[in-house]
Each structure stands twice: as structure tokens, then as C-alpha cells.
Amino acid sequence: MNFTVFDYTVFFLIVLAVIVVSFLGARWRKADLSKISEWSIGGRHFGSVIVWFLMGGDIYTAYSLISIPGGAFSAGGLILYATVYGAISYPFLYFVAPRLYLIAKKYNFITGADYVNARFDSRILSLLVALTGLLAMLPYIALQIVGIKYVLEAMKFPVLTSFIIAFLIVAAFTIVAGLRGPALGSVIKDVVLWGIILTVLVVLWMKFSGFGPVFSTLETSGKTVLIPDKLMLGFITLAFGNGVAWLLFPNLLTGIFGSKSARIIKKNSILLPVYQIWLMFLAIFGLVALAENLVPSGVSSLAFPSVLATYFPSTFVVIAFSGIIIGSMVPASLQALASANLITRNIYLEFFNKNAPESRQVLIGRIFVVVMIFASLLFAIVPAASGLIFYLLTMSYAWLLQTLPAIIISMYWKNLDKYSTGLGWAAGFAVVTWGLFDVHFSSSLIPTFGYMYVGIIGLAVNLAVLLVARAIVVSLKYRSTTKLQPGDYADFD
């Protein structure tokens, strides 16, 4: 596809607008950015609308624009687990997150690992949780960079240079504005992405009269649009496991902790599901590509770009591309911020410099934003490593799921001790890693267990070990300690 000068101008204007607005974030609602909670979680000032954009900006990224149609294109109905797991996540968010938020607010916690540290009075367990989070963040940031690379290549830019420039910008606005930068950037990002998806929807809806013919073409040609029977257990466990693991992502906790009150979080679990509409239609766009045979090469990640190139003029394609660029920059910035928080609070402050003043914590945080982005950049550029991203990505949800007892269950089971939780985590983590080696990282569904999702197998082992260890701990009459008060566990402001 060829682009005109006008197309390029539109592209740059949109990307530039996001960058400018994100930089302005530093001045927005005047704050003392040398305070760690002001910089890293926006001082817990964010109301419903910003939290909606912030969390939505984080969950529904440019990656969904490529991977959901790609998934539908290659595996039919299995990809619909993405629309199901939201319905698990949001009520779970409603029920669980306010409790975590209120504890975090009282003690000025910034990461999930901060909570684990205080709850179990154990810096080792907190470190394990922080490292699990970091391991999960790295491939995610790298993936955003790959999204950017893809677009720049398609637009015939010198890839390596433009790519490095794009990421210097992301690093710069995260460093300057902290959470305020991406919070504002995500507003524009979502406006653009909503605009693109709704436009594509309306055009294709008219063209294919409500998509009915698309489904029937596929059905009569013998390509299934349903969930393959063989993968039913995989579908159920993926939806359930990812739905629960979702809340454990460090970058989502950043959005939750940045809220002004527990009520804001509850309201958002009602409002955020609107984004799920995207996922359903994106899956159908993938089926359009399959039914109309738009991707002769069969490369599934080309499904959505091919739909755009076939049915839309170049100017619209360019707008969509700019959407993918900013849809990658904003989440990358949020994820780098969440990782930097983990490193600063749970590694640097805890193990290297207990008495670091807040201004120093912000400085360290800023340094690690750059380090994380640079590490992911290397990941994305080095070809050997960029193959690894997708392996790590299948692991990240499964690994994060193993921190469920430490972060969530411990808020309800108040006697749960650090030894049982730690042993459970280790067992779950080992099982997940073994399972992924067993299938050579090709998928997160394990054939030996009837294509069950590896994260759920890990969680089952995790909980079994936890219960056995707990029985032993109780029989030894060990008394666990905590820095929290019994009255801290509340569900209302």
C-alpha cells in the first residue's frame, strides 16, 4: 500500500498530539512530583473517568488489535475466551480490589508486593511476588515495541531509528510526568482506537449485512467458527485462569491504587466491560479475513491489517496505524512505570537502602523506567530474543496466577502464614515452568492434561501444597506475624 504526503501528515499529527498531551500531564493538577506516590500513582487522585481510560488503556492495547483477529483467523472460536474472561475479571475486581485498595491507601502502598511485605511480615515473599511481576512485565513491554516496529515497517520508515526515537519519547514522558503522562495519553489513545473499531464495524456490517453471510460461508466451507471440542477444557481453564490472573498484573494494580476511592474502583468494574465489545468485533474481523481469503500467506497477525488494506482508503489505514502506535506507547509507559515501582519499592528500598528519602525513590524509579524500556527494546530488536517474547507471554499469566494466595487469598484468610504461601508459590511456579517446557513453549494448553491451561494446573498444585504446608505449620504451633491490624480489612470507604 502506498501513502501520500497527506497521509503521513495525519499520522504525525495524531502521534504528536499524544506526546504533547502526555508531557502536559506533568503540569496537570499541580503536584509535587518528588513524592513517590504523586509520581508513581498520581497521588491517588484519579476519578472514575481517568481510571476508566487508564485501566482500559492498559488492558486493551494495540496488541489486541493484532492478536484477537489473528487468533480468530487461525483457531476459530477458541479466541472468544478473551471476551469471557472479562466477565470473570470485572466482578472479581469489584469484590476484591476495594479491600486491597483500602489497605494500600492506609499504609501508602504502591505495589502489590508492598502489601505482601506487610501482610506476611516477610521481605522474601514480597521479593518473590515482585520478581514474578517483573518477569511478566518484560515481554509485555517488548510486545508493544514489536507493534510499533510492525507499523513503522509497513509505512516504510527506517525502522531501527524511528523505533528508538519512539521509545525515547515514551521513556521521556514517563520520567517527566509519572502516571499523569500515560493517564492523559490514554484518553486520546482510546478515542482514536474506539473511532477506528467503530468505523471498521459500521463499514463491514453494511458490506456483509450483519456478518451472517461471513459465518455461513465459513460453516459451509467446513471451517469451524465454534470452539473445537478437543479444546473445550482449554477454553474453560483459559477463561477462568486469565480472568483471575488479570487482577494480579502489576500495571493494573497501579491503576487501582491510583484511584481516589474504593467507590471509583467499583464503578469501573461496571463501566470497563464496555471495552469487551471491541474484542467480540475484533474476533469477527478476523473471521472476515478468513472467509474472504484476505491473507493468502496465512500469517495470522496480518488478519486485521489485511482487512484494513482491502476495504479502506490509505488515509484511514494511516489513522489506524497511528492508533496502533499510540496504543503501544501508552501501555508500554504504564507497564514500565509499574515495573519501576516494583524495583524501587520492593528491591532497592527493601534490600539496598532502607532509609532512602522519597525524592531518591522517585529518582531510582525514573532510572528504572529507562532500564526496563531499554531491556524490552533489546528484547524486541534482537531476533533470537524476539522469538522468546511470545514464549514468555504465554508464561506470564500462568506465573502471575501463582501469586493469587499471596495477594488475594491472604486478605480473606487472615491466619495464612508466609511458609505455606511461599511453598505453594514455589510449587505452582515449578509446575507452570515444567508444563511449558513439556510443550516446548508452543502453547499454554497442555495435551497430557486434556489441553488444560497450564496456569490452572499450577494453581491446583500451588493450593494443594499450600494446604499441606498449612496443616504442618498449624501442628507445629507456629504463630505467624503481620504488620496489619485486624480492622484494616474493609470493603467500603
By the criterion CB under 8 A, which residues form the site for another protein? Answer: 77, 80, 83-84, 86-88, 90-92, 94-95, 209-213, 215-216, 219, 225-227, 232, 235-236, 239-240, 243, 263, 266-267, 269-271, 273-274, 276-277, 280, 284, 491-492
**Distance separating the N- and C-terminal Cα atoms of the chain:** 54
**Alpha-carbon span 202 to 188, nearest angstrom:** 21
On whether the CB atoms of residues 427 and 462 are closer than 8 A, the answer is yes
The CB-of-108 to another protein minimum distance in angstroms stands at 25
Least separation in angstroms between CB 267 and another protein: 7
Q: Residue 21 or 78: which CB sits closer to another protein?
A: 78
Specify the residue, 75 or 154, whose C-beta has the smaller distance to another protein.
Answer: 75
d(CA 392, CA 136): 8
Nearest residue to 139 (alpha-carbon basis) of 249, 241, 56: 249
Nearest distance in Å: CB 243, another protein: 8
Residue number, 86 or 323, with CB nearest to another protein: 86
Taking the least distance from each CB to another protein, the nearer of 215 and 374 is: 215
> Taking the complex as a whole, how short is the minimal distance between the CB of residue 226 and another protein, in angstroms?
5
Interacting residues of 126 by C-beta distance below 8 A, sequence separation 6+: 113, 114, 116, 117, 120, 346, 350
Instruction: Select 124 or 270, whichever has its Cβ closest to another protein.
Output: 270
Whole-number minimum distance, CB 81 to another protein, in Å?
A: 9
User: Which lies closer to another protein via its Cβ, residue 146 or residue 284?
Assistant: 284
Residue closer to another protein, measured from CB, 237 or 339: 237
Q: How far is the CB of 96 from another protein (least distance, A)?
A: 10
Our CB check for another protein shows the closer of 373 and 445 to be 445
Shortest CB 32 distance to another protein, Å: 29
Minimum gap (Å) between residue 370 Cβ and another protein: 39
Least separation in angstroms between residue 237's CB and another protein is 9
| Exposed/middle/buried for residue 483 (C-beta within 10 Å: 0-12, 13-18, 19+) | exposed
17 versus 271: smaller Cβ distance to another protein: 271
